[in-house]
Structure 1
């Protein structure tokens, strides 16, 4: 059987590791596609007609409308760990297998970037560099930051990546570690070295907050005006999970009233964003373009998983990390 492979909205897959593309070329024709985040399902289906294997990024959205109009698609392999851009019920009804990368592959890369961005905003690294570059050395006293050592860190979502963030903050900076995670027991959180607390207590006590939760109906905009009102004045926040965890308008109000001393985000609601986004008006906000997983080690591991998914599917084998594994139990 001849297969056609569509690489959709991925800026990184296959770019640095040509051996992975060579393996796919042995399976079938490959073409790259770039779609707007809000591309309608039918239009998306029409453009991808004939491609029975899709390698997908975090966008676009593979909706029920997409699956209703698309011809046979045996696999959507997510080049990442999330799958909230795929209507899983519709995919399963269509018989489309959906796979994701093991969370362990991204663990260190994403956690390290969450800390790197946090440190950059806390110590005003980018602003200080720009001053030095422009010959404004005498202004160095303006770039006063804070130390993390001995302060209180709150991690929201102490799962795969959040637990690594917690390890770095606790053992690297001798911080008191608080954790809120409604999907884990008190014992689970304590076994990871954290004090298990409710969300309100974490917000009130933390000097630094890291968001590492996943998006579901309960966590969407879980941080809004009420929650910012509970935080200490001058809190620092890093988010390498999903932009939708925080209400953007509420963030802007918290920046304006001084609640947030510094914000470091690798994810933004409605991304990709352009230079007109209001975050760029603030000197105490750092935005990176969803690059937390962009290390050679991580991207090679992610690519290997995706290629393996494709190879196994065309050989009638079950890939690893299948979201709708029930398709193999029929």
Structure 2
């Protein structure tokens, strides 16, 4: 692609403090970065801009949005999951879709998972509220189970899951089990992680962390039936995708005392709906899809996303290409040889 012809890269629903990182990476590509707010119909704006690439965070990239961009070459997701992008529609038009799986967020996400667990386990948020309201001597007002020789269960065990397991072991979790059909048994063995079926994990684990991608197969993978298998002392932590979890079933179990607590960073509808039942569930610590965030991770994420745009503008396939179509291997090999 000619790097002297002016081109537009649209940033859908911009949310970062600055886009200097992207502009620096693309400085020699005759690119104009244009933020497109999504509080109204974005189709007219995209039709006017006719971008060659889209950079997107959580916004849904539908077939209609793609159709509004006749010269579109690439959609890059700031992050790992691409469940908000119509992959079929993109593939039919030979539009590359890429993600950014390697911005080091396994550090931040695993820390956040641990923080949510500790907040729930030690009832930190509740104790803070009670103390500010004038309470004292409230430490034994509600039970706190011991986690000595506890078992950590991971639903999904990629880089984030493995890093989470490492950190939880420091807090006394001497056994880690995982349900992940894609985890190599040798990798699991090297990490001292036992591969088990989902039912066994739900029945056995004292703390269950969700680290799986959201796909049609994993939607509500933790449903009412699986929650019913869990022990009343179990803590459930979700720092992956809200759609993995039946939120109504979880809230009901918490209200009925069938689970000890939950730490939730992601929701099926975001921003979270005011009537979401988890907002009123007992011993539940919530955050606003922020597990991935640190100043470092944001910079690396924006930089790596911009480099995917740069690769395509230079005539290569993206490095992290998630929707290869027939005949794509040759193009990918060409990229690998040129990198």
Partner of 2:115 in structure 1?
116
Partner of 1:289 in structure 2?
288
Residues 86 and 120 of structure 1: CA distance in aligned 2, closer, same or farther (over 3 Å)? same
Residues 161, 212 of structure 1: 8 Å contact kept: yes
What does 1:235-274 correspond to in 2, within 5 Å? 235-274=234-273
What does 1:193-272 correspond to in 2, within 5 Å? 193-272=192-271
Which whole-Å deviations, capped at 9, do the CAs of 1:85-144 have from their partners, x for residues lacking one?
Answer: 112222122232211112462211111111111111111222222334444344344365
Aligned-pair CA distance for 1:265 = 0.8
Q: How many residues align?
A: 322
Residues 125 and 181 of structure 1: CA distance in aligned 2, closer, same or farther (over 3 Å)? same
Partner of 1:46 in structure 2?
44
Residues 263, 285 of structure 1: 8 Å contact kept: yes
Alignment of 1:311 onto 2:310: yes
What does 1:49-64 correspond to in 2, within 5 Å? 49=47, 50-60=50-60, 62-64=61-63
Q: For structure 1, which runs of at least 5 residues remain unmatched after alignment?
A: none
For the aligned residue pairs, the C-alpha RMSD in angstroms reads 2.4
SS in 1 for 2:290: coil
Aligned-pair CA distance for 1:231 = 0.9
TM-score (norm. length: structure 1): 0.88
Residues 21, 302 of structure 2: 8 Å contact kept: no
Aligned-pair CA distance for 1:171 = 4.1
Residues 237, 263 of structure 2: 8 Å contact kept: yes
Mapped partners of 2:262, 2:14: distance in 1: 26
Mapped partners of 1:172, 1:248: distance in 2: 28
Mapped partners of 2:64, 2:232: distance in 1: 46
Which whole-Å deviations, capped at 9, do the CAs of 1:58-89 have from their partners, x for residues lacking one?
Answer: 222x2233333432112211111111111222
SS in 2 for 1:98: strand
Mapped partners of 1:283, 1:245: distance in 2: 21
Partner of 1:66 in structure 2?
65
Which whole-Å deviations, capped at 9, do the CAs of 1:222-275 have from their partners, x for residues lacking one?
Answer: 111211111111210101111111112211221122122111111111222144
Mapped partners of 2:55, 2:141: distance in 1: 47
Partner of 2:320 in structure 1?
321
Aligned-pair CA distance for 1:293 = 0.9
Aligned-pair CA distance for 1:35 = 2.3
Partner of 2:20 in structure 1?
18
Single out whichever of 116-125 and 186-195 deviates more from structure 2: 186-195
Mapped partners of 1:171, 1:286: distance in 2: 22
Aligned-pair CA distance for 1:320 = 1.8
What does 1:18-37 correspond to in 2, within 5 Å? 18-24=20-26, 27-35=30-38
Partner of 1:7 in structure 2?
11
Mapped partners of 2:54, 2:146: distance in 1: 46
Residues 207, 234 of structure 2: 8 Å contact kept: yes
Residues 103, 297 of structure 2: 8 Å contact kept: no
Residues 7, 56 of structure 1: 8 Å contact kept: yes
Residues 177, 194 of structure 1: 8 Å contact kept: yes
TM-score (norm. length: structure 2): 0.86
